[in-house]
């Protein structure tokens, strides 16, 4: 399974996929890494592992639709079977979603606490258990069909940072397991299946 991974930040989820892909017989590999900004650790990790990168910045385009089309084309150039949004802090547009099959990882138990501050919002609400979710990406914000989840207990002395770090440990494992299972057709292939004839 050819993966394109989209990142905005530190890329620790990306690193987990890169590492897992080095296992002999791993059924997937990361063929390109894309970002919406320059100079991130995620891009550095890709370069350090000899993986081609591209950057597609919203402010470089006149309209959001132009950005969406440019991003869809850059992704297509790498001919992926699956796109993984791993800490990519932009909502993907209709062109990317029409042409590519995309999964996302989110640091909360969806459908609770969608959006950019899932960890903070869960703490602020006072829930005792939160976690992470891997889901198909649709036109909404963190609304697509759920593939897998992991639960994490919130401790009394947690800060947003300590809690997010514990979530990310499970998030990385979950993401690798989901991608492996999708590559081996062992888990749910999404509402329209992996061989749905998309470009
Ligand atoms: C992850 O928790 C992701 O779900 C969230 O941001 C974090 C990205 O971490 N949206 P990294 O860049 O993979 O280290």
What pLDDT shows up at residue 138? 94
Radius of gyration for the alpha carbons in the chain, expressed in angstroms and rounded: 16
What pLDDT shows up at residue 196? 37
Contact 131 CB / ligand 1 (< 6 Å): no
Output the tens digit of pLDDT for each of the chain's 199 residues: 999 999 999 999 999 999 999 999 999 999 999 999 999 999 999 999 999 999 999 999 999 999 999 999 999 999 999 999 999 999 999 999 999 999 999 999 999 999 999 999 999 999 999 999 999 999 999 999 999 999 999 999 999 999 999 999 999 999 999 999 999 886 666 655 554 333 3
Closest C-alpha to ligand 1, atom 14: 12
Burial of residue 87 (CB within 10 Å: 0-12, 13-18, 19+) is: buried
Residue 2: partners with Cβ closer than 8 Å, 6 or more residues away: 28, 29, 31, 78, 79, 80, 81, 82
Q: What is the set of domains in the chain, with CATH numbers? A: 2-183 (3.40.50.170)
Active site residue 106: yes
Q: Return the exposure string of 3-35: e unless at least 16 CB atoms fall within 10 Å of the residue's CB, then b.
A: bbbbbbbebbbbbbbbebbeeeebbbebbbbbb
Substitution site in 86, 116, 178 for ligand 1 pocket (most atoms within 8 Å of beta carbon): 86
Residue 38 near residue 55 (C-beta atoms within 8 A) = yes
Contact 87 CB / ligand 1 (< 6 Å): yes
Token pair for 106? 């989110």
Token pair for 198? 């998309």
Torsional sign, CA 21, 82, 68, 134? negative
Closest C-alpha to ligand 1, atom 10: 87
ipTM, 2 decimals? 0.96
Contact 171 CB / ligand 1 (< 6 Å): yes
What pLDDT shows up at residue 195? 44
């Amino acid at each position: 399974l050819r993966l394109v991974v989209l990142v905005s930040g530190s890329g620790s989820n990306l690193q987990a996929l890169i590492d897992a892909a080095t296992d002999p017989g791993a059924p997937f590999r990361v063929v390109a890494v894309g970002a919406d900004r320059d100079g991130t650790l995620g891009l550095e990790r890709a370069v350090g592992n000899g993986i081609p990168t591209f950057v597609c910045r919203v402010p470089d385009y006149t309209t959001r639709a132009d950005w969406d089309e440019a991003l869809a084309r850059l992704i297509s150039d790498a001919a992926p079977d699956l796109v993984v949004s791993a800490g990519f802090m932009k909502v993907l547009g209709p062109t990317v979603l029409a042409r590519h099959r995309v999964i996302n990882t989110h640091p909360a138990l969806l459908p609770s606490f969608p959006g950019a501050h899932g960890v903070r919002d869960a703490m602020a609400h006072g829930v005792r258990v939160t976690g992470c979710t891997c889901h198909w990406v649709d036109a909404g914000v963190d609304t697509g069909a759920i593939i897998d989840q992991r639960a994490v207990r919130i401790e009394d002395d947690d800060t947003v940072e300590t809690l997010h770090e514990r979530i990310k440990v499970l998030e990385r494992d979950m993401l690798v397991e989901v991608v492996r299972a999708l590559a081996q057709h062992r888990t749910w292939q999404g509402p329209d299946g992996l061989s749905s004839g998309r470009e």
